[in-house]
């Protein structure tokens, strides 16, 4: 069997295998099913091509890397025992590190990485993430999100690097981190994964997901074609040039037509004009949402999605419906066999390219990479570089930062100061994120402060101090950490963008009495203008992830502040949408703004 011969070209192997496959086997390859709804036996029975975890779906509570590997290998056994033995790959939302997995390193969310302005750092994060994903036997990460978020009211804005197309394009450097550096002789558009320390990447969500009206998730992006091509499309061009192996379709619509049914943009433009040779994957239950209400006519949705050019379908649960529906559509000549072959050819190409036929089983020796210190150090570096200093002192000649490490008594306040779950945001352990410190390994901002100050400095932590408490204690200064609770997707859509209570009251109680630095933990700019005058120093910390020590690194001057705003900080939500270059641009802090500081060492050496 030629397809089993690794000395032959990938094209030759793909064509040989494709020629041996029945319609049923081909349709199986086009499916990606959820782990809870399948088994090795069902994978064998239906020739399933891929398995996935939806947000927060894990083999066991606080599962070890080995437990993950056991699960993935068990599914693989089912695939390899089919007639043709085509291996499966397993996909997860590893969007800021391997974020579903206990003990993994959690990197800052993309908005924070956009603030670093450091593509090389983002590439290293991609490589570290790939190692941790492979440590659990998983071969496919649904990353990066290359949305250009044009309205911070969107619940996924933190998954976007920036409102600026060029900055998002620069950050696609994460793709060679995840997949490996593309060889110079490879034609453009061909997917490339360089071995078993790398993963399949997925540029998402194609296309225009960050441009919906009022930032409403999964909604309608109203823009002329020229605007779509100038603002939202360029990161896909760059991703394809970098060999991205898959592209995920957006739930959203463009001028009223659902992207999951958009033949013009998926087949005519992405495949035929841009020559993308990887596979196109639906979003989770994406074709269910082609109709209103969802799943109103599933055969219509299957026909629309397959005809549009989607190759692999996240059909997590009721996948026999997909098998039966697509079989009928092919037999009734509603969908040509050539469209099925195009889909399967692309999926098989990626499986051969990544060496899955030669190395189908996960390697237990890789488990050692999960949450290693080297990756935590990298995450800490990313946190440092992502901090944006918006204000430093009530006047230029009297900066508050860097804070002195030696002080009699300091106050740390706010629920976000000692809550790893809040520090990491959505897509962490569970789909909507978690609260508290029990499910994550890392350093809270409170502990980072305690680790950094002089041993004789007393650190008092109070979640929500009143003004009387602050007055009576005579603190040298206070660190107030406020922000949003975790959220993901539609749950994060927010039309007012105010700091949740008791944040505003705490700012008044603390900053009205003592010198204070306010740290905002959020997935986007929030309404801060009413409080800026009473705040001495203001830091946008985004969603920094597990390594809170990086926050203390810059607060206390071990490192300088260097981060720049990846998005415009508005004065009020009435201005939205407002992006750099707009005629009505009147920000509180403009795109690219960020004060810098000197390190304590540099200050003392002057």
Task: Give per-residue burial for 178-190: e unless 16+ CB within 10 Å, then b.
Answer: bbbebeeeeeebb
184/192 Cα distance (integer angstroms) = 11
User: H or E stretch including 220?
Assistant: strand 220-221
What is the model's pTM? 0.98
Phi and psi of 302, rounded to 5°? -65, -45
Q: Please list the active-site residues.
A: 283, 489
| Chain segment 515-547, per-residue pLDDT in tens | 999 999 999 999 999 999 999 999 999 999 999
Q: What percent of the chain has pLDDT over 70?
A: 100
Report CA-CA distances (Å) from 236 to 117, 269, 356, 500.
19, 11, 26, 35
What count of Cα atoms within 13 Å lies in the side-chain half-sphere of residue 367? 13
Share of the chain above pLDDT 90, in %: 98
Mean pLDDT, to the nearest integer, of 428-449?
98
What kind of fold does domain 2-369 have according to CATH?
TIM Barrel (3.20.20)
Reference 31, options 202, 376, 287, 218; nearest CA is 287
Q: Is the domain 387-604 a CATH 3.90.245.10 member?
A: no
Average pLDDT in the chain: 98
- Which one, of 63, 64, 73, lies nearest residue 43 by Cα? 73
Residue-wise pLDDT tens digits, 232-276: 999 999 999 999 999 999 999 999 999 999 999 999 999 999 999
Token output for 358:
């030669």
Is residue 144 pLDDT above 90, yes or no? yes
pLDDT at residue 132, as a whole number = 98
pLDDT of 71: 98
Domain boundaries, the chain: 2-369, 387-604
Contact, 17 vs 84, CB < 8 A?
A: yes
The count of residues in the chain is 606
Which token pair is 486? 């975790």
**Average pLDDT of the segment spanning 458-475:** 97
User: pLDDT class for 604, splitting at 50, 70, 90?
Assistant: confident
Under 8 Å between Cβ of 329 and 302: yes
């Amino acid at each position: 069997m030629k397809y089993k011969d690794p000395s032959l070209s990938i094209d030759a192997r793909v064509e040989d295998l494709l020629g041996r496959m029945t319609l049923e086997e081909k349709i199986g390859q086009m499916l990606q099913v959820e782990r809870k709804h399948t088994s090795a036996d069902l994978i064998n029975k239906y020739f399933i091509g891929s398995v996935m975890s939806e947000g927060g779906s894990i083999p066991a509570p606080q599962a070890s890397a080995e437990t993950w590997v056991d699960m993935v290998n068990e599914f693989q056994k089912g695939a390899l025992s089919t007639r043709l033995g085509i291996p499966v790959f397993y996909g997860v939302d590893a969007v800021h590190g391997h974020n579903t997995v206990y003990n993994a390193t959690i990197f800052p969310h993309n908005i924070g990485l956009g603030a670093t302005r450091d593509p090389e750092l983002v590439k290293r994060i991609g490589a570290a993430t790939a190692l941790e994903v492979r440590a659990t036997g998983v071969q496919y990460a649904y990353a990066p999100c290359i949305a250009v978020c044009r309205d911070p009211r969107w619940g996924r804005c933190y998954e976007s690097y920036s409102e600026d197309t060029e900055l998002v394009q620069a950050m696609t450097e994460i793709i060679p981190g995840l997949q490996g550096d593309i060889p110079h002789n490879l034609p453009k558009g061909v997917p490339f994964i360089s071995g078993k320390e790398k993963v399949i990447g997925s540029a998402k969500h194609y296309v225009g997901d960050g441009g919906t009206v009022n930032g409403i998730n999964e909604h309608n992006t109203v823009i002329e074609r020229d605007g779509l091509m100038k603002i939202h499309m360029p990161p896909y061009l760059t991703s394809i040039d970098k060999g991205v192996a898959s592209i995920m379709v957006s739930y959203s619509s463009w001028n009223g037509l659902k992207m999951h049914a958009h033949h013009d943009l998926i087949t005519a433009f992405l495949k035929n004009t841009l020559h993308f040779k990887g596979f196109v994957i639906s979003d989770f239950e994406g074709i269910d949402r082609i109709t209103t209400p969802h799943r109103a006519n599933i055969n219509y949705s299957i026909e629309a999605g397959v005809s549009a050019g989607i190759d692999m379908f996240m059909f997590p649960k009721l996948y026999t419906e997909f098998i039966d529906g697509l079989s009928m559509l092919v037999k009734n000549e509603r969908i040509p066999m050539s469209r099925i072959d195009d889909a399967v050819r692309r999926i098989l190409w990626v499986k051969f390219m990544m060496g899955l036929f030669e190395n189908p089983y996960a390697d237990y020796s890789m488990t050692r990479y999960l949450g290693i210190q080297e990756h935590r150090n990298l995450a800490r570096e990313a946190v440092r570089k992502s901090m944006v200093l918006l204000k430093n002192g009530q006047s230029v000649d009297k900066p508050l930062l860097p804070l002195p490490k030696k002080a009699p008594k300091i106050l740390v306040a706010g629920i976000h100061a000692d809550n790893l779950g809040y520090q990491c945001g959505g897509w962490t352990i569970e789909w909507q994120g978690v609260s508290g410190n029990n499910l994550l390994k890392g350093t809270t901002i409170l502990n980072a402060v305690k680790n950094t100050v002089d041993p004789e400095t007393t650190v008092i932590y109070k979640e929500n101090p009143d003004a009387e408490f602050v007055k009576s204690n005579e603190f040298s200064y206070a660190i107030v950490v406020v922000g949003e609770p975790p959220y993901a997707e539609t749950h994060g859509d927010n039309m007012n963008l105010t700091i949740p209570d008791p944040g505003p009251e705490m700012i008044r109680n603390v900053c009205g009495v003592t010198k204070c630095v306010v740290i905002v933990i959020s997935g986007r700019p929030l309404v801060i203008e009413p409080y800026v005058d009473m705040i001495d120093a203001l830091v946008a910390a985004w969603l920094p992830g597990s390594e809170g020590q990086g926050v203390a690194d810059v607060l206390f001057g071990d490192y300088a502040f260097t981060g720049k705003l990846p998005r415009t900080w508005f004065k009020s939500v009435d201005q939205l949408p407002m992006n750099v270059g707009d005629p009505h641009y009147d920000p509180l802090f403009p795109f690219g703004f960020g004060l810098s500081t000197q390190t304590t060492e540099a200050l003392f050496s002057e």
